[in-house]
Structure 1
Amino acid sequence: MVIETELPPEIERYRHLFKSRLQWHTKFVHGYSMPWHQQVWCEALEDFSIKRLLIVAPPKYGKSPIVGLDYLGWRIGNDPEGYHCIYVSNTATQADKFSVALRDTIAYNQRYRFLYGVEPDVGKGWSEAEWFVKRQNEADKDPTLRATGIGGPILGGTVEEIILDDIADQENMATAYQRKKLMDWIKTTAFSRLVPGLTRVVLICTRWHEQDPAAEFENEGWVVIHVPAIDEEGNSTYPEYWTLEDLIGESPSSAKNSLGLRRFEMMYQGRVLPAEGGIFQKEWWRYWKQGQAPWQYGIETSSYLPILGIVQSWDTAFKEKQQNDFSACTTWAILANGYYLLDMWRGKVDFPKLKLAAEALWRQWSPLAVLIEDAASGQSLIQELKTNTRMPVIAIKVDRDKQSRAHAATPTIEAGKVYLPEDAAWRPQFEYEHEVFPGGANDDMVDTTTQFLNWVRTHTFTATHQVSEVPRPSTWRQAG
């Protein structure tokens, strides 16, 4: 086979860029651009000082194509003489699939051939599971790439790299015996080909269990790149492929509803929740709809209920001169039949902006009480608002941990006394944060809920507190 090595003149000047940077290699050879998370992976893969790399990401995020096809093709193209790799997947069939895709790229992709001039060595071997590229060193008897599934044999000499591609699944994580069997095979068979200080190991995976290989290797100090499906701001990290509706929407086909919360958290968020489940259950919430709330019916109707009072509940988090975690505020209406969430605000803001947000929300809703936790960052806000505004600030002393406060608030929710705005864009994220508590990345919304419910339980409201009308609930509002 004759390999062309001349690129067209308009492309030739970029040859070094295409060969030296994995992201540009992929764009040139396969013709597609990478989303941000794949670019982050490429930067880590290019850093050969990282000898143990763990990439955790949800399904369909492109882990296997980027590492098993693009990265390995790039490594082989740049070092056909000295590079040897073992590619391990969950099954031999899956391993062979990527082996053949990579082999065919080297043999038939015209742009790859233009760029690197690497030739298949059909005489030495060109099977699905094991193949060679031509080298000047004829004495080298080890294949360029050897593909195998979990439990398969690994023969031959040492290698420069081992790729472990989604080796865990529901079946081999089901029991302690199966989990140990998998780790024993990795460490005694796959890792028997390691050269200390030389061989690199890359594990790409979706989480399946709290004792899966990802947990094992993270505890050993591997470099970890973790990309959850939903980031701390509540946004999809791969919106081109996964919308929030696809992930946590109301449809039975959404990832969370089809998998169940615990498995969704592991596979899509990379977090392990307690087996017994969270504190808040989704089915406990009740809902109200704009135009059909009890205070929106005619006063002469039997369904009419007045709002007895409005209360705001704050969870604050800031550091002077720098942004920190989220601050959040929920606005609640108190009725004779329960508590209605009217609005939700949160943002990563410094103290001056937090104070402005608190004043703006007070003016918008005219609450009869503004609850702020009398601890840490909340103390500065309490002092400032009490001194310089007319806001009815109530400092909430905390004498229990977050989980104890959550457990104390759940009977009210379980009894069907808490109503969420059905049409609010932020409602799914609000419910989700409560469902995953205390295992989620954020708990600011939860803290505002439990603070309000635990406070309101000890207070009485009568018709003298009636509110004649309230503003329309906001869409999702987030500062920072």
Structure 2
Amino acid sequence: MVRRPSNRREASERPPENIRRLLRTDLVSFIRRSFRELSPTTTFAPSWHIAAIAWELERIRLGENRRLIINMPPRSLKSISASVAFPAFIHGHDPSCEIVCVSYAQDLAAKLHNDYRSLLTSSWYRSVFPRTMVGRKDSEAETHLTARGSRLATSVGGTLTGRGGDIIIIDDPLKPSDASSESSRTRTNEWFGSTLLSRQNDKRTAAIVIVSQRLHSNDLAGHVLENDGDSWTLLNLPAIAPRDAAIPIGRDRVHNVKHGDVLHPEREPRDVLDAIRREIGSDQFAAQYLQEPVPPGGNMFKRSWIRRYHHAPAQNEGRIIQSWDTAAKTGPQNDWSVCTTWQIINGCYYLLDVWRDKVEYPALISEAKSLAHRFNPYVVLVEDTNIGTALITELKAARVRTEPVQASQSKEARAAVVTAIFERGDVCFPDWKPWLAELEAELFAFPGGRHDDQVDSISQALTHAVRGKGGVAVSIRGYF
């Protein structure tokens, strides 16, 4: 963000009526004005994701939804939007509403509450919502309004005896440094179920909002989605879009996201995100920035089994194979087409490249031929089903050595065949590639993840290799 000189006089001026009307009716504009109040020396960088957040929060305020989870990266205006501006906006329209705001620590809860108080006492807010007035009780833990509404700031595990809320907002319930602690996660999840849920003023109409970055597969968001996911609306805003999606940003309005789109490129472009990934590691990046936490140690495949290489072997050494898992359709809910490229040397399996996309058939054929030309594989393996059958014909016509593969077992059974290769430490991944985080998120979550197309391609390639169809005895010294 860009720094600019502070202008306190501008911040305290009474806005004209048309601006006041906009601030009363449009939560996005209200969030933007709140940001200027709280960060007067920083320029607001507009983004469609603020409209997506505002739309889902407005549905909560209007009673159209009662359960909402917003998962998004750190430093993306989630707290100002959901914990500060939103309660102030609610109280502007309904100063009798009782709101409870929860964070992982009381000092964080107090900080957000003080920001809320700053909004309510600003001259522009008072001109926009003149009926909303602060009462006698006004501290960094709790503010009462003259119309009997309130905002209570507390922490996970804090005392709520005798207190309740019409809207409960949980903002970052787990401290990042506690994410690896099973006892901390369990304490947070149990407090939510045993204490917080009982604090709803009217269980028929009260609403709960959880807004956080993902930290662990069993953090509060994961726990809630696993046990009661059908009751919750999930707004998932990864820093890098893992798939095409249409995100609602208003009534009958959507923002179309394409695979690989960056959430907020004005603030965190792709090169910055790649640097963050290298700094914090793939696991933390997958959780905090991609909102896809990987189970620690993996499920069927363990992270500790993977060896790493810095420089790939020379392409003329060993044998290279490619493995295709194809998808017939390209819709948002459909599977991906995947090609993994491997170099096999002396029983060591180097993953050289991963191509993963949703494309129509002509583009798929073009990509398959391009990858074959680029790596010159000894053989290209293609699952002989649906669109894969046609791909086999096209590649053979292009004089690419292609072998059809019949999938006669379940995905889990096919993966189980190759786990021993991983466990022996014979599988080598690169230190870093742009596709590595998404691959590992899928691989280490398998079979519990949402996708398994890359795992299918890997299983197919390594099953072919262990049957004695790809290894050449060449020294691997110097590649690590």
TM-score bracket, normalised by the shorter chain, equals 0.7 to 0.9
Aligned length: 427
1:131 paired with 2:143, answer yes
Specify which of 194, 216, 223 is matched with residue 215 of structure 1. Answer: 223
Q: Which structure 2 residues correspond to residues 461-480 of structure 1 after superposition, within 5 A?
A: none
The 5 Å alignment of 1:374-453 reads: 374-386=384-396, 388-420=397-429, 424-427=433-436, 429-453=438-462
Q: Does 1:94 align with 2:108?
A: yes
Q: What is aligned with 1:456?
A: 465
- Residue 169 of structure 2 is matched in structure 1 by 163
Give the corresponding residue for 2:152: 146
Distance 1:42 1:349, change over 3 A: same
CA drift of 1:101 comes to 1.7
Residue identity in the other structure for 2:295:
L
For 1:19, the aligned partner's letter is R
Return the alpha-carbon distance in structure 1 between the equivalents of residues 239 and 68 of structure 2. Answer: 20
Work out the CA distance in 1 between the residues paired with 2:307 and 2:193.
Answer: 42
Contact 1:59–1:206 (CA under 8 A) maintained in structure 2: yes
Deviation (angstroms), 1:378: 1.9
Larger Rg: 1
Q: Which moved more, 1:369-378 or 1:403-412?
A: 403-412
Q: In structure 1, how many angstroms separate the alpha carbons of the residues matched to 2:224 and 2:399?
A: 55
The answer to whether 1:20 aligns with 2:20 is no
Give TM-score scaled by structure 1 length.
0.74
One of 258, 263, 274 as aligned partner of 1:245: 274
Q: Secondary structure at the match of 1:307?
A: coil
Residues 395-439 of structure 1, C-alpha deviation per residue, up to 9 Å, x if partnerless? 111233333333322433444544455575444554554344334
CA deviation digits over 1:206-254, x for unaligned, max 9? 55563847634744612222334554246664563594435542x4xx0
Structure 2 Cα separation of the partners of residues 177 and 83 of structure 1: 29
Residue 71 of structure 1, CA deviation: 0.8
- Is the contact made by 1:23 and 1:34 (CA closer than 8 Å) also made in structure 2? no
Residue deviations 1:8-42 (CA, integer Å, cap 9, x gap)? 5xx54333222211111121232324544332111
The one-letter amino acid paired with 1:210 is N
Relative distance call for 1:266 and 1:94 in structure 2 (3 A) is closer
CA shift in 2, pair 1:151/1:379, >3 Å: same
How much does 1:316 deviate? Answer: 0.8
> Residues 339 and 418 of structure 1 are in contact (CA less than 8 Å); yes or no, is this contact kept in structure 2?
yes
CA root-mean-square deviation: 3.9
The change in CA–CA distance for 1:5 and 1:134 in structure 2 (over 3 A counts) is farther
Give the Cα–Cα distance (whole angstroms) in 2 for the partners of residues 84 and 181 of structure 1: 20
Q: Which runs of 5+ in 1 are unaligned?
A: 136-141, 296-305, 467-480
How many Å separate the matches in 2 of 1:84 and 1:322? Answer: 39
Residue identity matched to 1:396: V
Give percent identity, aligned residues only. 27
SS at match of 1:390: coil
Give the 3-state SS of the residue equivalent to 1:319 in structure 2: coil
| 2:222 corresponds to 1:203 | no
Q: Which residue of 1 aligns with 2:341?
A: 331
* Residues 297 and 303, structure 2, Cα contact 8 Å, conserved in 1: no
Q: Quick one: distance in 1 between partners of 2:430 and 2:238?
A: 27
Structure 1 residues 371, 65: CA separation in 2 closer, same or farther (over 3 Å shift)?
A: same
Deviation at 1:43, TM superposition (A): 0.6
Structure 2 match to 1:117: 130
Amino acid at match of 2:372: W
Specify the alignment match of 2:303 in structure 1: 281
Unmatched 5+ residue regions in structure 2?
1-10, 37-43, 243-258, 475-480
Judge conservation of contact 1:315–1:444 (CA < 8 Å) in 2.
Answer: yes
Partner in structure 1 of residue 56 of structure 2: 44
Give the conservation status (yes or no) of the 8 Å contact 1:248–1:432.
no
Name the aligned partner's letter for residue 164 of structure 1.
Answer: I
Q: Distance in 1 between matches of 2:190 and 2:436?
A: 41
Change (3 A) 1:63 1:285: same
SS of the residue 2:68 aligns to: strand
Give the secondary structure class of the aligned counterpart of 1:408. Answer: helix
SS of 1:370's partner is strand
SS in 1 for 2:137: coil
Change in 2 beyond 3 A, CA 1:174/1:163: closer
Residue 60 (structure 1) shift: 4.0
Q: What residue number does 1:105 align with?
A: 119
Equivalent-residue separation in structure 1 for 2:469 and 2:137 (angstroms) = 82
